[in-house]
Amino acid sequence: MTDVAYRNHRHYISEGWSAEPKEMFKRLAEILGKEWLSKSRDVLDVGCATGELLGFLRRMVPGGRFVGVDVSEDLLEAGRRLLPEAEFVNASALDLPGPLAGGFDLVTAFGCMSIFDEVELERFWDQLLAAARPGGRVIVLSPLNEFGCDMVIRHRKRLNGKVGSWERGWNIFAVETIGDILAARGIQMSLQRFAITIDLAPRPDPVRTWTIATKDRDRQLTNGLKLLIDHYFIIATKP
């Protein structure tokens, strides 16, 4: 299996920003709190797509530097049009440009950790932590596994009779794996589960998530990989 890439990003351009702020953004604002939001803040969003999260936070705080990093130039171009007051940088989460180091009160990465394999995870966290100021927060939103299992997943779609290429983006790591990485860096992580509050229907792309009712939950996220997906905010404060 060669050339396994993350490819599921076209919809960020075709669908644009949501008319209403996403539920996960509103939850992030609650986690940050009114006091934090009342001051000018420097924010870095890694895997920023078209900058929707940056746009939301920019409206919440009185000022500061807003930087988005992504590897897709198409997404960054759209971000530059939608949020001209932010900077959009083409770089990998695994290799953030040196000048970003130590510069941010908040570093976010939503929906991005699952792209990386176990061998890349420590580097991913080291890069995010390096970008934060001492006392700054790193907040990652990602599915986690609560049963002590790490899953490294490859998937391939067969759409309209065409066999696609192998893709990544759905690795799900055990809570303990992330806890150990952060503990080794002297950081105790805090977790908050993000429970979706709206029903989502399946879409033509089977990798996009939708909700089903289960015995335990009214809304359980799943997708065509037949995963049960539970997102968590992983919150770490840089020492």
Binding string to ligand SAM for residues 25 to 54, with x set by CB under 6 A, is what? ---------------------xxxx-----
**Binding of ligand SAM at residue 121 (CB under 6 A)?**
no
Taking CB under 6 A as the rule, does residue 166 contact ligand SAM? no
CA 68/CA 84 separation, integer angstroms: 12
Measured in whole angstroms, the distance separating CA 119 from the mean position of its chain's CA atoms is 18
What DSSP designation does 63 have?
Answer: -
- Does the footprint of ligand SAM cover residue 167 (CB under 6 A)? no
**Stretch (H or E) spanning 199:** none
Q: Which is nearer to ligand SAM, 151 or 176 (CB)?
A: 151
- CA dist., res. 77 & res. 186, Å (int): 38
Name residue 140's beta-bridge partners.
109, 234
CB 75 within 8 A of CB 53: no
Which residue type, as a one-letter code, is found at position 110? F
For ligand SAM, which is the closer residue by CB, 43 or 112?
112
**C-beta nearest to ligand SAM: residue:** 47
CB of 53 to ligand SAM, least distance (A): 6
Number of residues that make up the chain: 239
> Least separation, in Å, of the C-beta of 233 and ligand SAM?
12
Least distance in angstroms from the C-beta of 183 to ligand SAM: 24
Contact with ligand SAM (CB under 6 A) among 44, 57, 61, 75: 75
The residue written with tokens 């953004």 in the block is: 25
